[in-house]
Amino acid sequence: MLWRMSEDKYTPISMWTTYRRRILPTQILFIVICSALAFFYRVPLERLAVYFVFFQLLAVFSAWQGTRVHNRLTEIERKRQLLLKATEEARANRR
């Protein structure tokens, strides 16, 4: 799963929780990509710095979007569970 689930799986998470969880593998990937660009394609350092900053911004944006989607799905699932519980209670009361 791409995002961290809390003890209560329907609890929203923050963007920084998502970002901090994935920071080390993401930074390693960025360094590998920039190193490959420098070694194989002889990209100048100025451009590598621009790519690296762009990757950082993209990582923050992705964490933000992933958190938005997760929290939206969490809210939908919470409403679905409440509706299911209310439906089961209504059926139990009819009997």
36-89 pLDDT tens trace: 999 999 999 999 999 999 999 999 999 899 889 988 999 999 999 999 999 999
Which strand (E) or helix (H) includes residue 16?
helix 15-21
More confident residue, 74 or 4: 74
Asked if pLDDT for residue 8 goes beyond 80, the answer is: no
**Residue 70: its pLDDT value, please?**
87
**77-89 as b/e, with b when 16 or more CB fall inside 10 Å?**
eeeeeeeeeeeee
20-35 pLDDT tens trace: 888 999 999 999 999 9
Domain ranges of the chain: 15-94
Whether pTM exceeds 0.95: no
